[in-house]
Structure 1
Amino acid sequence: MLQLKKEVVIQTEKPYRVAQKYKNIHQELIDACKNGNSKAQFEIYKLYYKAMYNTSLRLLNDSLEAEDVMQEAFLSAFKNLHSYKEEVSFGAWLKKIVVNRSLDVLKKRRIDQEPIDEKRLAVAEETDSEVWDETEQKVAEVKQVIAQLPENYRVLITLHLLEGFDHDEISEILGMTNANVRTTYSRARKRLQEMLTDKKKSIWMN
């Protein structure tokens, strides 16, 4: 019995040890990157480049621009690693750089956003579960529909639903008031719901 208990303890400790080992290795890579170690930078690049590229692609809808943004974001991150505060994960810090650079590209396109009337802010915000319901729509299909949204809507939906930023963070990133963010997001979510409904009807009729 004692032997069995010992084995159970050992088994339950393994996941923690693996996670801790990964965390230590990751920190060593970050420290090496701060010292300009190119091999460590390449290892960090391999860990994050796909996720960062996809983040930019969802915002820009352009693979070449997303590739450029992703590369520039890594160069900027490695150059400014001294400003990285470890209060947040490196991935979250890097993602913010990617998002900001992607938004700079959108600004250069000079896309006019519709005027926002803050007085039309909804009193209560519904949950996103009805939009982001993986049991009804596959994630890939939802992303395809999101890509068809007007740019100002697509940016908000992408930042909140796909990238996990809250309204306060989005407000800071976009330089919009919190009320504007919530109003525009509410409109974007409503439009997304309509497009998903139309897509379902189209599939059903075909």
Structure 2
Amino acid sequence: MPQKPPALQRPLPLFDRANELICGVDEAGRGPLAGPVFAAAVILDPARPIMGLRDSKKLTAARREALAIEIRTHAVSWAIAECSEAEIDDLNILHASMLAMRRAIDGLHRRPTLALIDGNRCPVIELRCDAIIGGDDRVEEISAASILAKTARDAALVQLHAQYPCYGFDQHKGYPTALHLARLRLHGVSPVHRRTYAPVRNLLAELAAFAAGGAT
């Protein structure tokens, strides 16, 4: 059976880099079962180009860290924001991601004229914006934001590992790996787990049913 051809990416929008102050925006951490979701916004300096910017997921951890230092040093402005596990459970991950992006944009010390967002939708902001599917590997401002969001979130999960070492957050960064799922069942749900995510929600339901059965 012939394979289905990949979906075509729409052409990048036309924008005037000479007269626009462009910020790239991306998030990190929608899929994990634990920890906040992070977002970053970056305005790059055309006079100080950074070589090797691309989707953070396609870079080694060491390369991401090196590029993150360059971005923070050479960018015109950058900001990182997050939404907590409680906000994710209250709002859902989509709306929490949009809120984190909005917070990151608001955290810039220079007001951009255009925001380019990775993905297929924009947060509600008082700013012209365009969503670009695959933008983290196609637009250098979004690539830079992807790198800052990813490195910030990874660092936060290493800190959570120091608080909750039994889960192995330093290894899986909260993603639902076999190790994480096994530790979750062994040690139960921590305060930093996202209770609306299926593996966590199902475990809580099992424990509640067990407790109810034991009480009868």
Identify whether the pair has TM-score above 0.5, normalized to the shorter chain: no
Q: TM-score range by the shorter chain?
A: under 0.3
Structure number with the bigger relative contact order (C-alpha 8 A, sep ≥ 6) is 2
Greater helix proportion:
1
Max Rg structure: 1
